[in-house]
Structure formats: C-alpha cells, structure tokens
Copies of this chain bind each other. A is one copy, B any other.
Amino acid sequence: MGIVGLGLIGGSLGLDLQALGFEVRGLVHRPVTAARALERGLVQVVSTDPAILSGCGLVVLALPLDRLLEPDPALLAALPPQAVITDVGSVKQPVLARWQPIHHRFVPSHPMAGTAEAGVDAGQRGLFRGRPWVVTPAADADGEALAVVRALAESVGARWLACTASEHDQAVALISHLPVLVSAALLSSADRQAAAVGGAALSELVRALASSGFADTTRVGGGNPELGTLMARCNREPVLAALAGYRRSLDDLDALLNAQDWPGLQAALEHCQRLRPDFL
C-alpha cells in the first residue's frame, strides 16, 4: 500500500494499516517530513521519489485539495496502472472530474475525521473508528476497485457510506462549510459592532462577558483560514447556494422579531430544538 502525503489523514492511516499487518510506503514532498515520518513510525518505507509507489496495489492520495486538483506530473507518471487509487479530499465533484480521466481505477472518497491538528505530527491511531467514510463513485465505477476501498475503510473501523459526488458536496456545504462562514461572520460582527456602537468600552465589555455559548458558536469560524478558504474555493457553487438559503432562514427570524410575533418566534425555536438531536 502507498500513501501520498503523511499529514493527519495519511499519517493516521499509515499507523492503523501497519497495526493490521500491511506493508505501508509513504511518499512525501520534503526530506525533513520523510525523516520525521520514519521517526514516528507512520510508514515502514518513505521517500520523496514517486518511484516508491511502484508495485503498490492500493494508493491513497492524502493530499490537500489544491495539490490533489493540480497533481504533480511525476506523481501521475509513477501511479501503477493496475493499482486502485483513492483520495481523501473533502470536496468530491472537482476531484472526480479531474481524476476520472487520469486513472481508470480511481475511487473518490472522503474519510470524515478531522481534528484541529495538521502535519506530520498530527497522525494518530484509531482516528477513523466510528467516523463516516464517504465514497462517491461515478455511475460506471469499477466494482472491484470500490470493494478494495470499502475493505480499507472498514478495516480501520470507519462507517461506509456511498452517495453521488453532487450529493456529497451539497451535504458538506450545509453541515461543514456553511457553519464556518456563519461562525466567522458572528466573530467579525461582534467585534465590529461593539467598536462602532460603543467604542473601546463596549469592545472590552463584549470580550469580558462572552461565555461558553459564544465560544461554541464561533469555534469553527475561528479555525484554520487556509482550510476554510480551500473548502469555499473548491465547493463554491454549493456553498453559495447554502449561504443563500441560510440568509432566507435568517430573514424569517428577523421578520418575526420585527413583527413582534413572539409565539411565532417561540414556535421557530421549538422546531430547531426538535431538529438538533437528529444531527448529533
């Protein structure tokens, strides 16, 4: 097995697969990363030379989305033609469009197991246990290749889920990418309005009074800016649609407040209270 990129997802996969008895080879970009990956035991063999993938039956592209969408020609040349290739990208339509013509045994997949950590020191045992592992095969996908990726996902304890790339991208726009924007806008507006309305005194007061509710609601908006930007860039249309729908929901609440329709507001909040457990 080959893993391209040994960050959080690639490194965690290397640890779990070795524990299952597989020989795992890693391809990384920089010699310093290679040295650290060996030191941490993420893989048995590591190189910065794509030739290391020669002979691998399964190659996992655990690359950031931008590098996955503009792959290194040397990597492409080194991929074994008969190997099953999969990725771990968090947006699937552009990945499928880019990779389907490149390799006939490519299976687009997305193990949903993020943490706040990244890089060669982030990989950990058991990261995928109980987490969803979504695959979004094309209609004419190679059934055998799909079975190989399913076996990979289930061997590390993930929950296997199949859907179309379009369904995946709409779903993650709603439950993963939209929350980043909603949450970021809350941070910037609390800061901006406090300063605009009440100057330094109110700016200080909002900081002193913000409690766990504000902290929770702003957590993802205060997260990794590169990642947030990459998601929005690679999933722009579904995210814009999600944002438009969100603004309609906000308009509805605003209208209830403006009309002083308190039974209506309470009914809307009761609906939200009932909805939430389904998403947990």
Contacts and interface: CB of A to CB of B under 8 A. Distances in A.
Interface of A: 112, 114, 131-132, 134, 161, 163, 167-168, 170-172, 174-176, 178-194, 196-198, 201-202, 205-211, 213-226, 228-229, 232-233, 236, 239-243, 245-250, 252-254, 257-258, 260, 262, 265-266, 268-273, 275-280
Contacts of A222: 272-273, 275-277
A216 B220 contact: yes
A236 B257 contact: yes
A17 to B, nearest CB: 23
A260 B237 CA distance: 11
Contacts of A279: 187, 190, 206-207, 210, 214-215, 218
12 contacts: A132-B209, A161-B208, A171-B205, A174-B193, A183-B217, A185-B253, A186-B249, A187-B279, A188-B271, A192-B249, A222-B275, A240-B258
Interface of A is mostly: helix
Given A217-B219, A257-B236, A260-B236, A206 B175 contact: yes
A199 to B, nearest CB: 10
B186 A229 contact: no
Which 9 residue pairs are nearest across A and B when measured between Cβ atoms?
Answer: A222-B276, A225-B269, A189-B249, A185-B249, A193-B245, A210-B279, A229-B266, A179-B217, A175-B210
Contact of A202 (B167, B218, B252, B278): B167
A161, A181, A186 — most chain B CB neighbours (10 Å): A186
Contacts of A215: 279-280
B248 A189 contact: yes
A228 B163 contact: no
Contacts of A271: 188
A131, A170, A171, A206 — most chain B CB neighbours (10 Å): A171
A209 B276 contact: no
A228 B187 contact: no
Nearest to A277: B222
A239, A250, A272 — most chain B CB neighbours (10 Å): A272
B167 A134 contact: no
B209 A167 contact: no
Given A132-B208, A161-B205, A233-B262, 12 more contacts: A112-B211, A167-B198, A167-B201, A174-B189, A176-B211, A176-B214, A182-B182, A207-B279, A215-B280, A217-B217, A218-B272, A225-B272
